[in-house]
Amino acid sequence: MIDRVFRGRAHVFGDNIDTDQIYPGRYLDLTDHREMAAHCLEGASESFAAAFRPGDIVAAGRNFGCGSSRENAAIALKVRGVGCVVARGFARIFYRNAINLGLPLIVCPRLPEVAAQGEELEVDLERAELRNPKSGLAVPIEPVGDYAMRILDAGGIKPLMLAEGSR
C-alpha cells in the first residue's frame, strides 16, 4: 500500500504544462530511466533541476500533462523522485501513464489557495485535503478512484499484472 499522506516542498507550475515541457522531444530516443529523469521538466523551468529534492511535490494548474502520449514524461517524474503531482486537472493519457507507473496524481481544483513555491505541502488522502502547514490553510482534493487506487497500492500496473498472472 502507498502512504496516505505525502509531505514535500512544492514546485509550482501554471496551466497546460504539456509533455514536451515535462520531457522534451529531443530526448525521446533515450531508454535508460535514470538518463531520462535528468531531463524532468526541463522545458518548463530552468531552476527545477537544481532546486528539486526527492519527495518534493509538483503542484500545477489545469491540464497538466497535455499533449503527447509519451510515457517518458511520467517516467521522468517518477524516477526523478517526485512524491506526487497535485494539479487542478490532468490530461487523460498522462493520467493513465502516471497511475500505471505508480505515480500518484491528485486533483485539487482550489490548489492555488494553498500552494506556494518552495513551501511545504501535505496531501492527505484519508481526509481528502491538501494542506499548507505554514499558512495552516487546507482545501479539499478529489478522491482517487478505486481502480486507480488499486493500481497505486500495488506499486503500479506491472506488479499488479504480475500478481494477477501468477494467481
Partner 1 sequence: MHALEKILAAHAERDSVRTGEIVNCRVDVAGINDLYPQAMYSFREIGGVRVKDPERVLIFLDHYAPASTVRQAENQKQFRAFAREQGISGLMEINEGVCHQVMADKGYSRPGRLIVVTDSHTTTHGAFGAFSTGVGATDMACILKTGQLWFRVPEIMRIRLEGSLQKGVFAKDLILHIIGRLGADFAVYRGVCFEGSLISQLSVSERMALCNMTTEMGAKAAYIQPDAVTMAFLKDKEIADFTVFETDPGYVYADDLAFDASSVPPQLALPFSVDNVADLREHLGVPLDQAFLGSCTGGRLEDIEAAARILRGRHIAPGMRMLIVPASKKVLRDAISAGYIGELIEAGCTLVSTGCAACLGTHEGLLAEGESCISSTNRNFPGRMGHNKARIYLASPAAVAASALAGSIADPRDYL
**Distance, CA of 73 to CA of 76 (rounded, Å):** 5
Give yes or no for residue 162 binding partner 1 (CB under 8 A): yes
Site for partner 1 in 3-32 (CB under 8 A): 16, 18, 20-21, 24-26, 28-31
State the nearest-atom distance from the C-beta of 40 to partner 1, in Å: 14
Interface pick for partner 1 out of 12, 59, 91, 121 (rule CB under 8 A): 91
State the nearest-atom distance from the C-beta of 38 to partner 1, in Å: 15
State the nearest-atom distance from the C-beta of 36 to partner 1, in Å: 10
Helix, strand or coil, per DSSP, at residue 83: coil
**Distance, CA of 74 to CA of 37 (rounded, Å):** 9
* Phi/psi-derived region of residue 142, left when phi > 0, alpha when psi is between -120 and 50, beta in every other case: beta
Give yes or no for residue 131 binding partner 1 (CB under 8 A): no
**Distance, CA of 24 to CA of 90 (rounded, Å):** 18
Interface pick for partner 1 out of 9, 12, 97, 141 (rule CB under 8 A): 97
